[in-house]
A = this chain, B = another copy of it.
């Protein structure tokens, strides 16, 4: 059955967060003559992502939008690098906006435009509505609406994020296809009854990437570019 809606993981699946964050970090480091590898900085910033969300998933903390978690993680990271005093409040806030300036993968915009002709397309990301809106404007992602963590007030892979997204469209899980470059995301979506599509993004974590090079489950579709979704 063709899906009525395709919902997408965004960081890594639709946009190249690592290149985008490193590029923004590099601008700041150049400006301040800080000798630090921007890609390493991006990786370590992203490394704090899952633990920060885990505190919310486990119920140890109420829902807080990812923008704020990114900022808390940035503050931690700058302290670890002993760079805290080199950035004032406005600069930290501006650097945190690196997460809004993420380049789409080369096939994303054209692929989404194509899929949009015959189905609803929306992000089902851990990013907030504000963040998803700005990433879409930056990269020209033509979403029909924005679903995901904020409407569920929890984080993937918790089932309510997929189910709240499906409900918000007035559809049943089997009418919706989750598209992701991460096998664990698809595993969680499949458990909720959604269709699944895997797209490999083999350089999301750079040349040395070890995970998610191949589909590890029996997904409904395995595609090379978003425009091949059916």
**Cα distance A143–B144 when bound, in Å?**
7
Interface residues of A in 127-170 (CB under 8 A from B): 128-133, 136-137, 143-147, 150-151, 168-170
Determine whether the beta carbon of B120 is less than 8 Å from that of A133: yes
Cross-interface CB contact of A170 among B130, B136, B171, cutoff 8 Å? B130
Is A75 located at the chain interface by the 8 A CB criterion?
no
Cross-interface CB contact of A144 among B120, B131, B136, cutoff 8 Å? B136
**Cα distance A43–B145 when bound, in Å?**
29
> Which of under 10, 10 to 19, 20 to 34, or 35 or more describes the interface residues of A?
20 to 34
**Cα distance A137–B170 when bound, in Å?**
15
Interface residues of A in 189-223 (CB under 8 A from B): none
Is A67 located at the chain interface by the 8 A CB criterion?
yes
**Cα distance A158–B199 when bound, in Å?**
43
List residues of chain B with CB within 8 A of the CB of A133: 120, 122, 144-145, 169
Distance (whole angstroms) from the CB of A63 to the closest CB of chain B:
13
Cross-interface CB contact of A169 among B130, B151, B171, cutoff 8 Å? B130
Q: Most B CB atoms within 10 A — which of A132, A146, A151? A: A146
Distance (whole angstroms) from the CB of A206 to the closest CB of chain B:
30
- List 28 contacting pairs A-B, 8 Å CB cutoff, sorted by A: A65-B170, A67-B170, A120-B133, A120-B137, A122-B133, A128-B170, A129-B145, A129-B147, A129-B151, A129-B168, A129-B169, A130-B169, A130-B170, A130-B171, A132-B145, A133-B144, A133-B145, A133-B169, A136-B144, A136-B145, A137-B144, A143-B144, A143-B145, A145-B145, A146-B146, A150-B151, A150-B168, A151-B151
